[in-house]
Amino acid sequence: MNKKYVIGVDYGTDSVRSIIVDTSNGEELASSVFNYPRWKKGLYSNPSLNQFRQHPLDYIEGLEKTIQECVAKIGKKEAANVVGISVDTTGSTPVAVDKSGTPLALKSEFGENPNAMFILWKDHTAVNEASEINAYAALQEIDYLKYVGGVYSSEWFWSKILRIYRIDEQVRNAAYTWVEHCDWIPFLLTGGNDVTQLKRSVCAAGHKGLWAEEFGGYPPDGFFNGLDPLLAGEVDRLGKEAFAADTTVGSLSASWADRLDLNTDVKIGVGAFDAHMGAVGGQIEPFYLSKVMGTSTCDIMVAPGDFDIEVKGICGQVNGSVVPGMVGLEAGQSAFGDAYAWFKNILMWPVKNLFDDANLIAEAEQRIIVKLSEQAAVIEPEVNHPIAIDWLNGRRTPYANQNLKAAFFDVNISTDAVLLYRAVVESTCFGAKKIADCFVDQGVDIRGVIGLGGVAKKSPFVMQMLADILNMPIKIHRSEQTCALGAAMFASVVGGVYPSIEDAMSGMGQGFDTIYKPNQHRVSVYAKRYDCYKNRAELLENDL
């Protein structure tokens, strides 16, 4: 039997990872990670302004480097068996492009302009624009926000475009249209040179761009022109179609085939967002809440095509955005692992500023969260322990509000670093509980929870607390790289190996290796603390 391999490419916040997978069993044959050099240096971003931008060269260099390394590991002869490549990315992470589909930042005159670069998912500079979109949409006869949970976010496509057009006339005049990161990489790999021919993913268009079948595509130009004349004509350049990730964009271009040591028979699939492909890599099932847990979380669920509940407060429900033929529902938290990293950075300040020993500093950075987790895990929760609110990066769901800020309550002179860290972790778990309640309270059954991503694999303390707070078992997928694996599964479909993504999940899925079960002794205490969390969160939000 001829071997058939596929490549899954997973663009994260800090790095890109590529893997080569055997389609017969899902075995990972090679992997490579590339940390974005410009991003690592902090170029083009300003955290104090919530500005986070990434240069397209980071993406291009990472794509080439990781696939080249993977090919080298298995050898060029074996690499001849690669039949497909699919890509997932963060999102909404759009960029302004010219008519050829070239990001403006790749042009000399815009090479150092952050507004001409990819606007990363967690960029919140468009908070005011998001508020305007919500207020304007509320006045319309047609509810254009009904499939994005009723609230538009500053993390999403149109908010970011409007913000850039208002502050940067040069970019506005040079931009032909805007393209999501997950749509641009397949376009790049296939040698695209006319952006009107670009295939936009239903995942990005539906969850972040207001595209919906009911509207025949995006809202009409009159909606955007009425919002702000700067957007006049913008929607007409996006096209009306959007495609699921089992759709082929085309074949690998001769130029990229040469750069990657592959052949031009390799098929390239439509892209999608990382958590959506991650849920597929994690073998999602209908009505299972699949939690991709990293710097932030994305909570993904799929429901049969006849699902007729319009869920409010989430990040959208889109036919085919996860599994073609099913409704994909998305929620999530703007800070999860980022919350723990924030606390670590607070504690590391004296170490970095009082000591010159680089080895000591590196060891402290590596061990501090591990040690905090070990000590926090043995503390039994008490109702009067400090309470934290997890809005360090605003709130994504339920009901997006990026203006919200985090807080600590019930802190006193006896509160130490371990109790504060425990409160931070607990707050992220309470935020996850709020998302679960958002679904359940609107009649959406949650039949189980699947944990995916770095936090799920590496932090038993966090996962046990989450199981206790949700009062549900959480099964952890065996794969270390479910997003890249999900992309590889879609590559196997566009490459003609499997007829459907369900078949690919069955043939390439790696199963589960850990189950966290609720500790019933702690469940009742957490339930009382959750009530405290909700009360204090409500007070905090109402006081803004």
For the stretch 80-119, pLDDT in tens is 999 999 999 999 999 999 999 999 999 999 999 999 999 9
Position 297 scores a pLDDT of: 93
Any residues with CB less than 8 A from the CB of 42 and at least 6 apart, and which?
none
Reduce the DSSP state of residue 22 to 3 states and report it.
strand
Residue 490, token pair as written in the block:
């879609």
Separation CA 378–CA 522 (nearest Å): 12
Place 462 in a pLDDT band, splitting at 50, 70 and 90: very high
Any residues with CB less than 8 A from the CB of 183 and at least 6 apart, and which?
198, 199, 200, 201, 204, 270, 271
Task: Kindly give the pairing relationship between strand 448-452 and strand 288-293.
Answer: parallel
The per-residue pLDDT for range 219-236, each reduced to its tens digit, is: 999 999 999 999 999 999
> What is residue 393's DSSP assignment?
T
Separation CA 64–CA 30 (nearest Å): 15
Separation CA 520–CA 468 (nearest Å): 7
Task: Kindly give the pairing relationship between strand 15-22 and strand 5-11.
Answer: antiparallel
CB 399 within 8 A of CB 148: no
Position 305 scores a pLDDT of: 85
Report, as an integer, the average pLDDT of 157-171: 98
Place 446 in a pLDDT band, splitting at 50, 70 and 90: very high
pTM of the model: 0.93
CB 56 within 8 A of CB 106: yes
- Percent of the chain at pLDDT above 90? 97
Q: Write phi, then psi, for 316 (nearest 5 degrees).
A: 110, 155
Task: Show the beta-strand stretches assigned E in 55-192.
Answer: 82-89, 94-97, 118-119, 177-180
The CATH number of 5-282+479-510 is which of 3.40.50.11690, 1.10.150.650, 3.30.420.40, 3.30.300.30?
Answer: 3.30.420.40
pLDDT over 70 (residue 538): yes
The per-residue pLDDT for range 260-314, each reduced to its tens digit, is: 999 999 999 999 999 999 999 999 999 999 999 988 999 999 999 889 999 999 9
Cα-Cα end-to-end distance for the chain? 64
Residue 69, token pair as written in the block:
């390394």
CB 487 within 8 A of CB 368: no
Position 405 scores a pLDDT of: 95
Residue 475, token pair as written in the block:
């099964």
- Domain(s) of CATH 3.30.420.40: residues in the chain: 5-282+479-510
pLDDT over 80 (residue 456): yes
Strand 512-516's sheet: what is its strand order?
A: 317-319, 326-333, 297-304, 288-293, 448-452, 474-477, 512-516
Q: Write phi, then psi, for 153 (nearest 5 degrees).
A: -110, 155
Q: Write phi, then psi, for 181 (nearest 5 degrees).
A: -55, -45
pLDDT over 90 (residue 2): no
Q: Nearest 5°: CA angle at 58, between 55 and 61?
A: 140
Any residues with CB less than 8 A from the CB of 138 and at least 6 apart, and which?
none
What separation in angstroms does the CA of 504 have from each of 118, 320, 379, 501? 32, 16, 43, 5
Separation CA 226–CA 371 (nearest Å): 55
Amino acid in position 2: N
Position 359 scores a pLDDT of: 95
The per-residue pLDDT for range 332-369, each reduced to its tens digit, is: 999 999 999 999 999 999 999 999 999 999 999 999 99
Separation CA 337–CA 457 (nearest Å): 12
The per-residue pLDDT for range 24-53, each reduced to its tens digit, is: 999 999 999 999 999 999 999 999 999 999
Position 242 scores a pLDDT of: 98
Position 543 scores a pLDDT of: 83
Separation CA 387–CA 539 (nearest Å): 13
pLDDT over 60 (residue 1): no
Report, as an integer, the average pLDDT of 416-421: 98
Separation CA 75–CA 137 (nearest Å): 54
pLDDT over 70 (residue 544): no
The per-residue pLDDT for range 129-163, each reduced to its tens digit, is: 999 999 999 999 999 999 999 999 999 999 999 99
Position 42 scores a pLDDT of: 95
CB 323 within 8 A of CB 406: no
What separation in angstroms does the CA of 188 have from each of 130, 198, 254, 282? 30, 10, 12, 27
What separation in angstroms does the CA of 224 have from each of 122, 207, 242, 349, 394? 23, 17, 19, 46, 26
What radius of gyration do the chain's Cα atoms show? 23
CB 494 within 8 A of CB 84: yes
The total of other beta-carbon atoms located within 10 Å of residue 99's CB is: 13
